[in-house]
């Protein structure tokens, strides 16, 4: 595991304001690339509004009418969909539209790529991504302050891992964080995301690799070389579930029940980090 990751211009906007907890450079927003599928079998694709299929140069190759299912198939020449074949196909709905992949709806755009296999990658707004992760990873039944802590951890985690892979940033499952698009985004998760909009954890001018697991069994696991991921006693009432590194989700819930704020919860599990906010 790498202890640090350098983000060039992205983290450059963090350094100036971190001591005050505010990011002062211009922030144009972030798109997260989430791998939804990597398969040798076809995927069913649909859109909620009219959409265009474009190649890597942005050239329009075909149109997709709304509310119909289309089969995207892998081939030696690339992806086959709606009468076209290309190594790279972007499904771009009109503004505000959604894309469905195998029956699950996503905001943003979807990239389909591959030769003899098919990768589906969702290009999604950071805050939309965070709201889905909060609900999938923690759930609407958790206390508001625990959900807020989860939102900040999820946001920090994905920014740390942004641009760490070739085609995508993070997986949509437990290899990274669980993300299910619009199929799992409760009112409670949306409220926690909105209440912490743009709030991130930083350490040494870098985004924090904010790892977490369901419960630690009473003691979190430290990571050598990462000062903010140390072994700590935990109030989680449940046996260890997951790797036990970083924030314990059930521990965060117990602390929230005791009246802790999300800032206090994060400061406990991630020692020495600072909170900042990405400017609009």
Helix (H), strand (E), coil (C) string for 9-56: HHHHHHHCCHHHCCCCCCCCCCEEEEEEEEECCCEEEEECCCEEEECC
> How confident is the model over 165-191, as a mean pLDDT?
94
The whole-model pTM stands at 0.89
**What average pLDDT is seen over the chain?**
89
pLDDT number for residue 225: 94
Q: In this structure, are residues 245 and 229 in contact, taking their beta carbons and an 8 Å threshold?
A: yes
Residue 3 pLDDT grade (very low, low, confident, very high; cuts 50, 70, 90) = very low
pLDDT number for residue 29: 75
Tens digit of each residue's pLDDT (9 = 90 or more) over 220-265: 999 999 999 999 999 998 999 999 999 999 999 999 999 999 999 9
pLDDT number for residue 131: 97
Q: Is 268 helix (H, G, I), strand (E, B) or coil?
A: helix
pLDDT number for residue 12: 30
Q: Measuring CA to CA, how many Å separate 107 from each of 114, 132, 219? A: 22, 11, 38
Residue 188 pLDDT grade (very low, low, confident, very high; cuts 50, 70, 90) = very high
Question: Is the pLDDT score of 217 beyond 80?
Answer: yes
Question: Is the pLDDT score of 16 beyond 90?
Answer: no
Q: Considering just the CA atoms, what is the radius of gyration of the chain in Å?
A: 20
Higher pLDDT, 280 or 97: 97
């Amino acid at each position: 595991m790498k202890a640090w990751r350098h983000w060039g211009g992205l983290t450059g906007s963090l350094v100036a304001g971190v001591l005050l907890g505010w990011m002062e450079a211009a922030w144009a927003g972030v798109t997260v690339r989430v791998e939804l599928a990597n398969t040798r079998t076809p995927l069913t694709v649909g859109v909620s509004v009219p959409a265009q299929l474009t190649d890597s140069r942005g050239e329009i190759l075909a149109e997709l009418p709304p509310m119909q299912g289309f089969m995207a198939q892998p081939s030696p020449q690339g992806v086959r969909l709606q009468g076209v074949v290309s190594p790279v196909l972007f499904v771009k709905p009109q503004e505000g539209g959604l894309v469905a992949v195998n029956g699950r709806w996503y905001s943003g755009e979807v990239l389909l790529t591959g030769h003899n296999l098919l990768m589906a990658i969702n290009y999604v707004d950071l805050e939309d991504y965070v709201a889905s992760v909060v609900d999938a990873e923690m759930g609407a039944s958790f206390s508001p302050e625990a959900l807020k802590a989860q939102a900040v951890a999820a946001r920090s985690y994905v920014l740390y891992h942004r641009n760490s892979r070739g085609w995508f940033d993070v997986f949509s499952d437990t290899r990274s964080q669980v993300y299910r698009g619009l199929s799992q985004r409760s009112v409670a998760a949306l409220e926690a995301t909105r209440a912490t909009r743009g709030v991130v954890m930083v350490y040494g001018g870098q985004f924090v690799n904010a790892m977490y697991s369901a419960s630690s069994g009473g003691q979190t696991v430290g990571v050598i070389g990462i000062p903010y991921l140390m072994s700590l006693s935990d109030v989680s009432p449940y046996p260890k579930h997951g790797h036990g590194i970083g924030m314990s989700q059930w521990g965060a819930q117990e602390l929230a029940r005791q009246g802790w704020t999300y800032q206090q919860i994060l400061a406990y599990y991630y020692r020495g980090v600072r909170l900042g906010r990405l400017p609009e």
